[in-house]
């Protein structure tokens, strides 16, 4: 959900709406706590806050824009006049 809010803000040329982000976070926390209270998931060992923090970190990476890299190279050209052995030099 948070990613969707970031995309909407970026599409409009503005930062994401803080109130909408807060609403998304509250909705996620409610759903996460509800799922954890059932106690039938043996694989979820993190707290809801830890899961949210991990998801937020992923969103931050994805919304930070493309990674730019630069490379440089140098080339050298040499020309040898005459024969390699030097036998035919003037």
Task: Tell me the average confidence (pLDDT) per consecutive run of 10 residues in the chain, 90 residues long.
Answer: 56 79 91 86 84 90 75 62 57
Is pTM beyond 0.85? Reply is no
Q: What residue has token string 């730019």?
A: 68
Instruction: Give the pLDDT score at 9.
Output: 60
CA distances, 73 to each of 13, 49, 67, 68 (Å) = 37, 47, 20, 17
Phi, psi angles (nearest 5°) of residue 43: -85, -25
Instruction: Give the pLDDT score at 4.
Output: 58
């Amino acid at each position: 959900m948070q990613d969707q809010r970031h995309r909407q803000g970026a599409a409009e040329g503005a930062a994401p709406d803080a109130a909408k982000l807060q609403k998304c976070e509250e909705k996620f926390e409610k759903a996460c706590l509800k799922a954890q209270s059932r106690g039938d998931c043996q694989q979820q060992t993190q707290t809801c806050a830890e899961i949210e923090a991990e998801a937020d970190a992923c969103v931050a990476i994805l919304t930070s824009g493309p990674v730019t890299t630069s490379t440089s190279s140098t080339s050298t050209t040499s020309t040898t006049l005459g024969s390699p052995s030097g036998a035919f030099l003037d």
